[in-house]
Amino acid sequence: MSILYLIVQLGGERVALAAADVESVIEIDTLTPVPRAPAHISGLSALRSRVLTVMDCAKSLQLDKVDGSRTGGEAVVVTHDGHPYALLVDAVEDVVEATGEIAPIASNLAGGWSRAAQGMIEADNKLMLLLDIKILVAGPGVEALC
Amino acid sequence: MGPMDDLITEFIAETRDMLDALGGEIIAWEAAPADRSRLDEIFRFVHTVKGNCGFFDLPRIRGLSHAAENVLTDLRSGKRAADPALVSAVLAIIDRIGELVQELESGETLASGDDEQLIAALDQEAGETKGETAATTSMPSIRSNLRSIRLPVDLLDRVMSGVSDLVLARNELARCLRESGYGAGVEAAFDRVSATIGEIRDAITHTRMQRIDNLFATLPRLARDVADELGKKIALEIEGGDVELDREMIEMIRDPLTHIIRNAIDHGIEDEAVRREAGKPATGNIRIAASQAGNQILIEIADDGRGIDGDKLVARAMASGLLSQNQADRLSAAQRTALIFEPGLSTAGQVTAISGRGVGMDVVRANVERIGGLIDIDNRPGLGLRLTLRVPLTLTIIPALTVQLNGQSYAVPRSTIEEIVRVKGGAVAIESLGGSSIATIRGRRLPLVSLGAALGVTHQEATEDQCLIVLRPAGTGIYALAVDKVSDHEELVVKPAAPAVMATGLYGGTTLADDGRPILLLDPPGIAATAGIALEAGTFDTSFASTATAAPEADAKPALLFMSLCGVKRIVPLSAVERIEDVPSEAVQISAGRLHIALGDSILRLQGCGAEAAGRAIRILRLSDGINQVAYGIGDVVDIVPLGTDILPAATEGEVRGVTLIGGEQVEVLDLFHLFEGSATSEPEGARRICAIPAEDHWMETILGPVIESAGYRIVRAGDPGAEMADIHLVNSDEISVKPCIKSGRVVKICSDPEKTAGDAIHRYDRSALLDALADTASGRKSRA
């Protein structure tokens, strides 16, 4: 069975998100900050009449390379638990079709990747991590929720 | 809509429901005319229709149903046998009733008046007229002009979000037009579009709102059933049914609320013997009250039962391995009580059929939290338990004040705002005391919170526009919040924010400003808590809380300053103001010789304006003296200010009691006594005579109810508290087997068959005999007994 995945760039890697969970891809330019919110929440943005909570995925995964907080860029819109979110990524590439199974990860992943990775998929003849949107939304400290 | 219109609507809806339900029966009866149970169903229908329409002026429906009833009675008693012609004739009558009801609803008149022919067809012997009867059987052709339809909430959501988009698009268009410049013609057209969009938005918002009554209406029955099953006596008090809340939200809290009430009766209220021993009345009391506090709806469920046994909970938690001895020892009383929300812990000695079905308070809490709500628990071991559900008003429009901090906008629910003062105005002194700040406003000292500090946002001190907002969140203390600037009053559509944002405890939700940017709605109690200000917590008795936070200025009470319709500034004590409402033009009428307005299902006397106000949209203050309400028409609300006792009396008695000085201006003070004098529309409950009716009698409640009430009675259902002490008991003599529990008062038998009115029974449509019977009891005579 073939499944569609959205390929995005995050922390210098190409990773996959299940396309079925993705509503749209948008460009975020202005953000309303949310003081005292967890670090992985960049702010709020409006998509038509909905208020999106914008999550900085690099912060959700606690990737080392992140410096300062992102205030814009390409974001993937998802709905989790009834609330709409925009997941800020480095870049959005394309939707690809992958035919294989989701394979268990064959090596030890660094830091935040290990929390968010659901498995590996093969697309475009390359291996990619499949990330769990739930973890990206929940951010660090998610252990308590799982 | 008058009460009679309501009744007609009810009658139409009921008849239509029955017709819908009957559809299958009719077809089945046609196939098997000898089928007794089908026959009974159809008989019941015409019988009920006949009964119901007896109270309206509907001679055609009455005639038709009466004729059909007679024939069906013959069929049931075996005097006549059903044959296809007769079946067709009866069906033709039922169809005609359907058409007439349809006509009643749509307001059209049905041209054909051949009812006589239909009735005559009933009496013709089989075989006499075959062709004719068949021809009269016609289904209602058009179902037009229905007054109500069912819609999925989903669809409303889509419309709502479409309208919100439309508003934003309009705003953008307005900006474009302003920048590019446009002629007067464009401006007028745009204004019209703009106004129409505003109206649509209002309308669609209202479609989603529902009175919480709709949820509460089912509770007395539920409580009664549960109490009966457990052999307990419960008195259920319900308040605040006119609070409005999102339809979907009502559905979402239905289950948690039901469960809490079951729990309260099952686990909370003790058995009668135990209660007596504890010195409590034998009847357990459960009070349910809804109120609106800012952007939240509070639903309180308080019982006078045994409360939660914290020790027992701790013991169970330890037994199930949830707590160690060490942890248990360190729990506060509140934490012990909160264990009730842990999965798998129930304090009931035994699992019962009522609440021991594996659904515990943990599920209740999860359900409430899923919709962005909270449950507060106030436990008085041995005395009772009070649970407060706080649920957000999603998708409801709340009035808010937008403020600026560090260039960002935030919204503050207007209901929590007591006053706004400019720091530079000279009325405020700010002092620093041991790291905290105190603002002194007109001699009143208030804890001061800097919004910038509370939100952890750095910002410059005291700008020219800096303002203090004096906040008094519901049920807590009062404090002043410093913001950079106050921008605007707006009506905002508030939605709950993402859980991670709500978890900060600072925000009540998110909303979109008119320019399409998201704004955070501040949560005043949450901000106070973050800033470390100890607000007085709500206490078991709310009246206590209000005395504890009384204004420090001696004898000065907060009062509402407003512009009267005659253009004079007037003031009224805030404690008498229930709420401020905008009333649509059709609700304002001169009836019974004076101005009245219709609000929900009550009618209030309207004062403060002359007869010219009739038929105009108007803003009113709903004033209450605790029992009665009156409406007072006003122009604009100016401010909330303290009102002292320094009042010069007026020259003549009238709606103005005197004049006082507010900010150097003369302001007229309303005379509440005068306003309420003679407005006692309802006598105190206890003074009214009580009429008990059977518990499950829809006809008596709906059709006869208004007649009983207009004769000066209060209606209680048999089985409800106080029913056995009623002054008059109406019983249905058709169901003599049901013996009501009667301790005093007189019994009036009502029967549905005019032939069986022998003895003391009264036919249900004999209005004059009914009124006589009610009047007899009212005047204390017992002549008919």
∠ CA A13-A15-A17, nearest 5°, is 155
ipTM score above 0.85: yes
Most confident of A108-112, B58-62, B545-549: B58-62
Q: Which helix (H) or strand (E) holds B461?
A: none
Q: Any chain A CB within 8 A of the CB of B501? A: yes
Cα–Cα distance for residue pair B514/B172, rounded to 1 Å: 9
Which has the minimum average pLDDT: B136-140, B293-297, B622-626? B136-140
Render pLDDT for B682-730 as a digit per residue (tens, 0 to 9). Answer: 444 445 678 888 877 777 777 777 777 777 777 887 777 767 777 788 8
Chain A environment of B457 (Cβ under 8 Å): 35
Q: Give the 3-state secondary structure of residue B517.
A: coil
Q: How many residues belong to chain B?
A: 785
At B663, list the tokens. 């900010």
Half-sphere exposure of A57 (CA within 13 A, CB side): 31
Mean pLDDT to the nearest integer, B278-290: 90
Quickly count: other Cβ atoms within 10 Å of residue B194's Cβ. 15
Chain B environment of A50 (Cβ under 8 Å): 161
Quickly count: other Cβ atoms within 10 Å of residue A67's Cβ. 7
Chain A environment of B456 (Cβ under 8 Å): 35-36
Q: How confident is the model at residue B537 (pLDDT cuts 50, 70, 90)?
A: very low
- CB interface of A with B, residues 68-87, below 8 Å: 81, 83, 85
Of residues A34, A49, A83, nearest to B512 (C-beta) = A49
Q: How confident is the model at residue B390 (pLDDT cuts 50, 70, 90)?
A: confident
DSSP lists the bridge partners of residue B391 as B297
Cα–Cα distance for residue pair B490/B620, rounded to 1 Å: 19
- Reference A42, options B518, B494, B402; nearest CA is B518
Confirm whether A69 is domain-assigned.
yes
DSSP E strand boundaries for B369-462: 374-380, 384-392, 396-405, 408-413, 417-422, 428-433, 436-441, 444-450
Mean pLDDT to the nearest integer, B569-594: 79
Q: Which pLDDT score is estimated for A53?
A: 94
User: Measured between CA atoms, how close is A72 to chain B, in angstroms?
Assistant: 15
- Which of B157, B449, B455, B501 should one mutate to test binding to chain A, selecting the residue with the greatest count of A CBs within 10 A? B501
Chain A environment of B153 (Cβ under 8 Å): none
Question: Is pLDDT larger for residue B518 or for residue B344?
Answer: B518
Q: Which pLDDT score is estimated for B538?
A: 31
- Which of B483, B512, B514 should one mutate to test binding to chain A, selecting the residue with the greatest count of A CBs within 10 A? B512
Render pLDDT for B94-120 as a digit per residue (tens, 0 to 9). Answer: 888 888 888 777 776 655 567 778 888
User: Measured between CA atoms, how close is B436 to chain A, in angstroms?
Assistant: 20
Q: Any chain B CB within 8 A of the CB of A37? A: yes
CATH (domain of A70): 2.40.50.180
User: Measured between CA atoms, how close is B319 to chain A, in angstroms?
Assistant: 24
What sign has the CA pseudo-torsion B631, B635, B639, B642?
A: negative
Confirm whether A144 is domain-assigned.
no
Chain A environment of B497 (Cβ under 8 Å): 44, 51, 53, 83
Q: Give the 3-state secondary structure of residue B594.
A: strand
DSSP E strand boundaries for B523-673: 557-564, 569-573, 577-583, 588-591, 594-599, 602-607, 618-624, 629-643, 648-649, 656-662, 665-670
CB contact under 8 A, A48 and B165: yes
- Reference B488, options B552, B403, B564; nearest CA is B403
Q: Any chain B CB within 8 A of the CB of A39? A: no
∠ CA A87-A89-A90, nearest 5°, is 165
- Residue type at A141? G
Q: Which pLDDT score is estimated for B159?
A: 85
Task: Kindly report the average pLDDT of chain B as a whole number.
Answer: 75
Render pLDDT for B460-472 as a digit per residue (tens, 0 to 9). Answer: 565 667 888 988 7
Render pLDDT for B736-752 as a digit per residue (tens, 0 to 9). Answer: 555 555 666 777 777 77
Mean pLDDT to the nearest integer, B617-640: 79
At B284, list the tokens. 């357990």
Percent of chain B with pLDDT over 70: 80
Residue-number span of the structural domain to which A20 is assigned: 4-138
CB contact under 8 A, B500 and A33: no
Q: Any chain B CB within 8 A of the CB of A127? A: no
Q: Is the pLDDT assigned to residue B12 strictly greater than 70? A: yes
Confirm whether A42 is domain-assigned.
yes
- Which of A55, A83, A135, A137 should one mutate to test binding to chain B, selecting the residue with the greatest count of B CBs within 10 A? A83
Q: How confident is the model at residue B46 (pLDDT cuts 50, 70, 90)?
A: confident
Confirm whether A143 is domain-assigned.
no
CB contact under 8 A, A36 and B455: yes
Quote the number of domains for chain A.
Answer: 1
Q: Any chain A CB within 8 A of the CB of B456? A: yes
Confirm whether A46 is domain-assigned.
yes
Nearest CA in chain B to A80: B498
User: Measured between CA atoms, how close is B204 to chain A, in angstroms?
Assistant: 15
